[in-house]
C-alpha cells in the first residue's frame, strides 16, 4: 500500500478478522474501508510504541511539526496512566499556571471543557474555571478514565483524518530488526486477530509502560536498585538488586448505594489477604487489609486512615473515599449521579509479591491475576468487615463499577506501573541532582537550595521522590525534592542512535525514577522527544549530535520553548 494513500486510522480494537483500516484515494472526499493484509508493512517518519501519556504527547508534538506518525497501543484505550491504568493526575501545586508544557495544560483545560459541554453540571460547578470533577484530595482534576480517552482522541483526530497519524490499538510489539546501532523495523501482532505487521521508520520511540523495546532492540538498560557504590546516592542501598522494583497496582472503581446489598462472593484468596502482614524492611507495622498503612516518612510507624463513602468527613483522618475520587455527585444536577465514584489506588492494594519486569508472559499474567484477587479481597473486606464510625462493620452498599474501567472484571485494563526498564543514558539523573537532602550535602547551603542546573534542559517537573514498597521487601521511601529540570542527556541512549524513550524509561536511577514518573513529567518527556526527532530530521543530524553541538542544542531549545515547553523554573 502506498504510504501517501494510507489514512491513518487502524483502530482494530472491536474488529474481527480481517483487520480493517481507513484509507482514501487522492481526490476522494471520504475515506473507505480497506483490508489490511497479513504481513502488511507500514512506514512513517516515526513509530511510537505505547499509547500512554508519553506516547500521546510524543505523537502530538511530532505531528504538529509535520511528521507522519505510527502509534501503537497494547490495549483498546490510549492514555496510559490517565485511562487504561485508571490513575487520576498526580501533580504539583503550581500546575495550573506553570511547571508543565503548554500542551499538557491544554489537555487539562480540554478535560474541564468536556465536562462543561457534555455533563449536567450545577451552576456553581460550571462557573469554576478550575473545575475538579471529583473534588479529590490527590488531584486538582480527578476525572473518569473514559474522558481522558475522549479528549486525547479529539486532540489526535485532525491528524487521523489527514492521514498523518496511524493508530494501531490492541497491538503488541513482538520483535525488532536492527543493524549496528540502528533499529530498522518493529514486528507486531494484533492481539485480537493474531495478524502480524511490520513498522518501518527512521526513528522509533519506546513509550511502553515497561520499556519493552529496550531488550528487543538491544538497547542497553538497567532495572531495579543501584548500589551506593555505583551512584553515590545518599539513600541508595549498600548492595544493588536489579530485581528490586517498585510495587504495581491494578486500580478499580467503586460507587456506594445506600441501602443496597452489593456484597460480592467471598474471594478464593480472601483469608490469605485478610491475615497477610507484609514482610518489609523497615517492618510494615500493620496488616494489609486495614485502615492503616506504613507512614511514608516513618515506615516503621502505622498511619491511621479514615473511610466513609457517605460523604461525611473523617477529619482529622484522610478519607480514602475522597482521596482519588473522580466524580463528586454534588458537582452535578440532582438525580444525575446517585453516588460519588472513586478510584481504589491505595497502599492496601499495592502488589509487591511479584515483579513484572523481565519475566515471562505467563508469570506476568499470574502476578496481575494475583493483584486482582487482592483487589477483590479488599473490596469484600470493605463491604463486610471495615470499621464504621457508628461502631458497625462493613459497607455492603459499595459497588464495583466495571463500566468505569471498561472491563468485564471491573479492573483496570493494564496495571499501574511505577518503575520500568531504564535506558543506560548519556547522562543519568542522580539523587544529588534533585533530592533536597542529598543536594545540600554535595552543593552546600546556598547551591543546595535549588536543583542542579542542566544546560541541556528540555523541560521541568516537580514531585517528591515517592518510592512504593518493592518486590524485594523494601518498604516505601518518601524524600523531598527541589523543582527540577529534565536534561536532554537523560533521554539519549549511550549507543542506540534512532530509539528514544518517552516514558518512565529515561536515564534515572531507582531513586530518581520516584520523582520523574508522574503524569506532567512523563508528558513533557514525550513531547520533547517528538520535537527532538522532528528537529533531527529537519537538520539531517542525530540526537547525539544535537546534545554535543552547543549551537544545535541552543537552537533546539529555542524551538521547544516557542512551542510551549518550559525549560527552567521561574525564580
pLDDT digits (tens, 9 = 90+) for 458-498: 999 999 999 999 999 999 999 999 999 999 999 999 999 99
Please report whether residue 469 resides in a domain. Answer: yes
Cis omega before residue 18 (within 30°)?
yes
Burial class (CB in 10 A: 0-12, 13-18, 19+), 562: exposed
Mean pLDDT of 322-336: 97
Please report whether residue 146 resides in a domain. Answer: no
Residues 307 and 365 in one domain: yes
Residues 324 and 444 in one domain: no
Q: Which residues contact 552 (CB under 8 A, 6 or more apart)?
A: 539, 541, 545, 546
In the predicted structure, residue 29 carries a pLDDT above the cut 60: no
Band of residue 446 on the pLDDT scale cut at 50, 70, 90: confident
Q: What is the pLDDT of residue 314?
A: 96
Q: What is the pLDDT of residue 447?
A: 86
Please report whether residue 491 resides in a domain. Answer: yes
Band of residue 37 on the pLDDT scale cut at 50, 70, 90: low
Average pLDDT, the chain: 93
Please report whether residue 412 resides in a domain. Answer: no
Residues 535 and 431 in one domain: yes
- The grid coordinates listed for 106 are 491544554
Residues 516 and 456 in one domain: yes
Pairing relation of β-strands 182-190 and 196-200? antiparallel
Give the domain extent around 276.
248-405
Residues 282 and 168 in one domain: no
Q: What is the pLDDT of residue 279?
A: 93
In the predicted structure, residue 413 carries a pLDDT above the cut 70: yes
pLDDT digits (tens, 9 = 90+) for 128-159: 999 999 999 999 999 999 999 999 999 999 99
> At which of 383, 405, 427 does a domain end?
405
pLDDT digits (tens, 9 = 90+) for 381-400: 999 999 999 999 999 999 99
Please report whether residue 106 resides in a domain. Answer: no
Residues 300 and 203 in one domain: no
Q: What is the pLDDT of residue 257?
A: 98
The rounded distance, in Å, linking the Cα atoms of 250 and 372 is: 7
Please report whether residue 479 resides in a domain. Answer: yes
Higher pLDDT, 484 or 15: 484
Residues 431 and 522 in one domain: yes
Mean pLDDT of 168-176: 97
The rounded distance, in Å, linking the Cα atoms of 393 and 287 is: 17
Residues 292 and 389 in one domain: yes
In the predicted structure, residue 31 carries a pLDDT above the cut 60: no
Q: To the nearest 10°, the Cα dihedral for 457, 463, 465, 469?
A: -130
pLDDT digits (tens, 9 = 90+) for 515-558: 999 999 999 999 999 999 999 999 999 999 999 999 999 999 99
Q: What is the pLDDT of residue 8?
A: 35
Residues 473 and 530 in one domain: yes
Please report whether residue 138 resides in a domain. Answer: no
Tell me the CATH number at 221: 3.50.50.60
Residues 70 and 192 in one domain: yes
Residues 176 and 296 in one domain: no
Mean pLDDT of 308-334: 96
> At which of 405, 433, 459 does a domain end?
405
> At which of 370, 405, 440 does a domain end?
405
- Give the number of domains in the chain: 2
Q: Which residues contact 166 (CB under 8 A, 6 or more apart)?
A: 6, 8, 9, 10, 21, 42, 44, 68, 69, 70, 71
Cis omega before residue 418 (within 30°)?
no
Please report whether residue 264 resides in a domain. Answer: yes
Q: What is the pLDDT of residue 11?
A: 47
Residues linked to residue 168 through DSSP beta bridges, in sequence order: 10, 72
Start-to-end Cα distance in the chain: 53
Residues 216 and 273 in one domain: no
Q: What is the pLDDT of residue 571?
A: 83
- The grid coordinates listed for 486 are 529534565
Amino acid at each position: 500500500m502506498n504510504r501517501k494513500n494510507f489514512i491513518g486510522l487502524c483502530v482494530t480494537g472491536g474488529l474481527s478478522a480481517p483487520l480493517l483500516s481507513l484509507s482514501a484515494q487522492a481526490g476522494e472526499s471520504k475515506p473507505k474501508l480497506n483490508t489490511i493484509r497479513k504481513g502488511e508493512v507500514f512506514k512513517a517518519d516515526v513509530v511510537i510504541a505505547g499509547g500512554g501519556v508519553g506516547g500521546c504527547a510524543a505523537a502530538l508534538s511530532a505531528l504538529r511539526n509535520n511528521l507522519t506518525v505510527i502509534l501503537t497501543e497494547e490495549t483498546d484505550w490510549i492514555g496510559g496512566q490517565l485511562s487504561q491504568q485508571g490513575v487520576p493526575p498526580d501533580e504539583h501545586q503550581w500546575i495550573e499556571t506553570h511547571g508543565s508544557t503548554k500542551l499538557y495544560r491544554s489537555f487539562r483545560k480540554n478535560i474541564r471543557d468536556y465536562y462543561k459541554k457534555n455533563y449536567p453540571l450545577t451552576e456553581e460547578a460550571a462557573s469554576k474555571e478550575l473545575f475538579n470533577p471529583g473534588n479529590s484530595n490527590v488531584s486538582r482534576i480527578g476525572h473518569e478514565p473514559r474522558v481522558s480517552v475522549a479528549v486525547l482522541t479529539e486532540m489526535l483526530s485532525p491528524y487521523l483524518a489527514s492521514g498523518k497519524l496511524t493508530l494501531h490499538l490492541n497491538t503488541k510489539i513482538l520483535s525488532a530488526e536492527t543493524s549496528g546501532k540502528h533499529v530498522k523495523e518493529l514486528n507486531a501482532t494484533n492481539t485480537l486477530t493474531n495478524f502480524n505487521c511490520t513498522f518501518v521508520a527512521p526513528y522509533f520511540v519506546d513509550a511502553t509502560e515497561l520499556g519493552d523495546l529496550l531488550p528487543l532492540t538491544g538497547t542497553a538498560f538497567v532495572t531495579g536498585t543501584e548500589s551506593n557504590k555505583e551512584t553515590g546516592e545518599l539513600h541508595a542501598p549498600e548492595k544493588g538488586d536489579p530485581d528490586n522494583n517498585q510495587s504495581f497496582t491494578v486500580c478499580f472503581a467503586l460507587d456506594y448505594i445506600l441501602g443496597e446489598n452489593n456484597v460480592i462472593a467471598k474471594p478464593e484468596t480472601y483469608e490469605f489477604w485478610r491475615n497477610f502482614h507484609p514482610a518489609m524492611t523497615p517492618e510494615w507495622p500493620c496488616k494489609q487489609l486495614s485502615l492503616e498503612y506504613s507512614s511514608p516518612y516513618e515506615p516503621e510507624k502505622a498511619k491511621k486512615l479514615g473511610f466513609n463513602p457517605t460523604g461525611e468527613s473523617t477529619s482529622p483522618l484522610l478519607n480514602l473515599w475522597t482521596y482519588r475520587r473522580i466524580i463528586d455527585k454534588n458537582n452535578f444536577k440532582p438525580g444525575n449521579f446517585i453516588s460519588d465514584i472513586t478510584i481504589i489506588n491505595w497502599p492496601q492494594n499495592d502488589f509487591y509479591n511479584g515483579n513484572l519486569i523481565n519475566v515471562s508472559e505467563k508469570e506476568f499474567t499470574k502476578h496481575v491475576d494475583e493483584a486482582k484477587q487482592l483487589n477483590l479481597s479488599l473490596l469484600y473486606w470493605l463491604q463486610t468487615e471495615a470499621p464504621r464510625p457508628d461502631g458497625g462493620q462493613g459497607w455492603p452498599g459499595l459497588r464495583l463499577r466495571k463500566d468505569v474501567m471498561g472491563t468485564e472484571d471491573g479492573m483496570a485494563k493494564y496495571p499501574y506501573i511505577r518503575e520500568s526498564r531504564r535506558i543506560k543514558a548519556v547522562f543519568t539523573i542522580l539523587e544529588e541532582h534533585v533530592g533536597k537532602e542529598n543536594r545540600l550535602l554535595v552543593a552546600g547551603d546556598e547551591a543546595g537550595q535549588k536543583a542542579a542546573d542542566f544546560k541541556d534542559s528540555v523541560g521541568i517537573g516537580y514531585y517528591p521522590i515517592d518510592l512504593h514498597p518493592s518486590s524485594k521487601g523494601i518498604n516505601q521511601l518518601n524524600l523531598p525534592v527541589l523543582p527540577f529540570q529534565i536534561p536532554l542527556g537523560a533521554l539519549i541512549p549511550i549507543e542506540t542512535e534512532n530509539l528514544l524513550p518517552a516514558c518512565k524509561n529515561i536515564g534515572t536511577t531507582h531513586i530518581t525514577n520516584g520523582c520523574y514518573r508522574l503524569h506532567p513529567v512523563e508528558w513533557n518527556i514525550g513531547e520533547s522527544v517528538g520535537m527532538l526527532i522532528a528537529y533531527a530530521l529537519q537538520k539531517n543530524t542525530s540526537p547525539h549530535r544535537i546534545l554535543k553541538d552547543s549551537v544545535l542544542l541552543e537552537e533546539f531549545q529555542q524551538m521547544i520553548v516557542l512551542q510551549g515547553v518550559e525549560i527552567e523554573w521561574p525564580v
